[in-house]
């Protein structure tokens, strides 16, 4: 049973891997014996977190702003100089923008779509040679896209581009899964509900928890367990899935 969840020795890239859910995923993979590369725009925060993670295992920071394809290619080039193959790609980098409907700006739409959708596609595309180099029938490569329950929930909280972007991630996951299964690359989407992050930092915790049937926000162990499952032998027959991780929010709202 322990061997079924063993991912020690694999190589992973986690975008947005130094804060929020990304940091939780990075920590889980490092503690599981994975060599983890992390990227984000803030080089100082990224390196500080990587130094902390290196107390437990291997973690290397590569600063990158994934809002442009040129920057994505530069990240892939840097990674390719260090590794010949990639076992796990976690597309976690994300952005949001809140404004009243009548005042919502074009830049608030474009920024969110560029980070949340375009970067997921073009980073995965650019890393295909490294993912294919690692893949086999017995041990496929894994791509995990971080979507959100906002992909299906109409509760926008005035973040009008965020939900549509995460719905696009969910659909893109299915398309990529269909195309890449022939190459032994599995693609799944995790859809978190309420987890601590910079996006939720300004909200009243007591008010937030009222919407979660299980009565608490998500914990690091919740996302860690699902990610390790998807990356291990235990999850090697799963692809194309949109997996809510939300303490029952969608079930209560009859949305899933």
- Among 162, 229, 237, 242, the active-site one is 162
Distance of CA 166 to the CA centre of its chain: 11
Backbone φ and ψ for 31, nearest 5 degrees, come out as: -65, -25
Contact yes or no for 161/94 (Cβ under 8 A): no
From the list 177, 186, 203, the residue with the least C-alpha distance to 237 is 186
Active site residue 162: yes
Contact yes or no for 109/50 (Cβ under 8 A): no
Contact yes or no for 221/169 (Cβ under 8 A): no
User: 192 - beta bridge partners?
Assistant: 245
Neighbours of 113 (CB within 10 A): 18
Which positions are annotated as active-site residues?
162
């Amino acid at each position: 049973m322990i061997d079924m969840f063993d991912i020690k020795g694999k190589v992973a890239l986690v975008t947005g891997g130094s804060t929020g859910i990304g940091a939780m995923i990075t920590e889980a993979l490092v503690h599981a014996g994975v060599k983890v590369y992390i990227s984000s725009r803030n080089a100082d925060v990224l390196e500080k977190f990587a130094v902390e993670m290196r107390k437990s295992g291997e973690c290397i920071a590569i600063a990158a702003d994934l809002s442009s394809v040129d920057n994505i290619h530069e990240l892939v080039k840097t990674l390719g100089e260090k590794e010949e193959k990639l076992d796990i790609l976690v597309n976690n980098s994300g952005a949001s923008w809140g404004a009243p409907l009548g005042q919502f700006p074009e830049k608030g739409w474009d920024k969110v779509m560029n980070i949340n959708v375009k970067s997921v596609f073009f980073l995965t595309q650019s890393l295909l040679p490294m993912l294919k180099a690692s893949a086999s029938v017995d041990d496929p490569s894994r791509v995990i896209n971080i979507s959100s329950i906002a992909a299906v929930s109409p509760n926008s909280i005035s973040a009008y581009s965020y939900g549509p972007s995460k719905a696009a991630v969910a659909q893109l996951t299915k398309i990529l899964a269909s195309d890449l299964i022939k190459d032994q690359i599995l693609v799944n989407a995790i859809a978190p509900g309420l987890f601590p992050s910079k996006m939720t930092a300004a909200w009243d915790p007591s008010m937030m928890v009222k919407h979660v049937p299980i009565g608490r926000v998500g914990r690091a162990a919740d996302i860690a367990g699902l990610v390790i499952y998807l990356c291990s032998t235990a999850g090697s027959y799963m692809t194309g899935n949109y997996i809510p991780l939300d303490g029952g929010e969608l079930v209560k709202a009859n949305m899933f």
